[in-house]
Amino acid sequence: MERTVVVIIDRQALFREGASHILSKQPDIKVHDIDPDEDVLATLGAYSPDVILLDIDNTSFKGLSLAKKINSHFPAVRIIMLTLEPDDKQLFEIIKTGAVAYLEKSVSSEELVKAVREVSTGQFPINDIVLSKPKVAVHVLRQFQDIHGTNGKTIEAVVAPLTSRETEILTCIADGNSNKQIASILRISEQTAKNHVSNILRKLNANDRAHAVVLAIRYGWISAEELQVPRVTIASN
């Protein structure tokens, strides 16, 4: 049985040990833990995790910056942010990192295991959390409107925003390019292109590449007018 590889990154050794103990008892989960003062990116490269539990670090919020770095270097990894008592502002900042979920550190063993399994199968629990809280949802939408000028878009359109690189790649997909062609166009490796595509499908909860394009156009994340639609020449008889 292929196991989900989980890495726990938390400054509190006691929490790392406790979470590791809970998750390691699950036959479908393999666990590693990292002190955030270590060379995190190098260690993650060695572990090749599927899911990361990352402490937000309430004293300095360094976890938010680290989450962005991890998403940049490992776009296919799914990040669950850990926090004490998240407020609206924190939730918005967590969303901007590209995290797929957040958990309070007082979470039960059952809820922790459930969250890991959900995100490992491509689910995006943070969407449901935001959409279930009208005040938070409005706050998130207004913040994105201020930053990106997304006036008129629905909450669903901004809950899981794409990075600029992901938008680039999605536009390439819409133009009919394969992963190999995308890699050539953007001068990245084919594996990196593949990882980005997987991340896009996960963020949009899309069934396939075509579905992702349709959703992105519908929500205004890419413009249909900018796509390279081939001209069709009709031969005269």
For helices 190-204 and 209-219, give the axis angle rounded to 10 degrees. Answer: 60
Please state, in angstroms and rounded to a whole number, the distance separating the CA atoms of residues 196 and 75: 6
Closest CA to 5 of 39, 38, 35, 28: 28
- C-alpha distances in angstroms, 133 versus 39, 56, 82, 106? 37, 21, 19, 20
CATH architecture, domain 4-148: 3-Layer(aba) Sandwich (3.40)
Q: Which one has a higher pLDDT value, 124 or 54?
A: 54
* CA pair distance 83, 61, nearest whole angstrom: 10
Which residue, chain included where needed, has tokens 């794409």? 162
Q: Which residue ranges make up each domain of the chain? A: 4-148, 162-224
pLDDT per residue over 68-105, tens digit each?
A: 899 888 988 999 999 887 677 777 778 778 788 889 88
Q: Which residue has the tokens 């930053």?
A: 147
User: Scanning the structure block, which residue is given the tokens 């790649």?
Assistant: 169
**Topology agreement, domain 4-148 and domain 162-224:** no
pLDDT over threshold 50, residue 236:
no
Closest CA to 172 of 159, 190, 160: 190
Q: Write down the residue that tokens 């990292």 correspond to.
A: 34
Work out the angle between the directed axes of helices 134-148 and 88-97 (0-180°, nearest 10). Answer: 50
pLDDT of 198-233, one tens digit each? Answer: 888 887 777 788 878 877 776 666 765 555 544 333
The string of pLDDT tens digits covering residues 172-196 is: 988 888 999 999 999 999 999 998 9
Position 116 confidence tier, pLDDT thresholds 50, 70, 90: very high
CATH architecture of 162-224: Orthogonal Bundle (1.10)
CA distance 20 to 173: 39
Q: Which two tokens stand for residue 195?
A: 């990882």
**pLDDT in the model for residue 48:** 92
Query: DSSP letter at 225?
Result: G
Confirm if 18 and 64 have CB atoms less than 8 A apart: no
pLDDT in tens, 5-64: 999 999 899 999 999 999 999 999 999 999 888 889 999 999 999 999 999 886 667 888
User: Token pair for residue 172?
Assistant: 């390439």
Determine contact, residues 24/53, Cβ cutoff 8 Å: no
Looking at the DSSP bridge assignments, the partners of residue 55 are 82
pTM: 0.63
Phi/psi of residue 102, each to 5°?
-140, 150
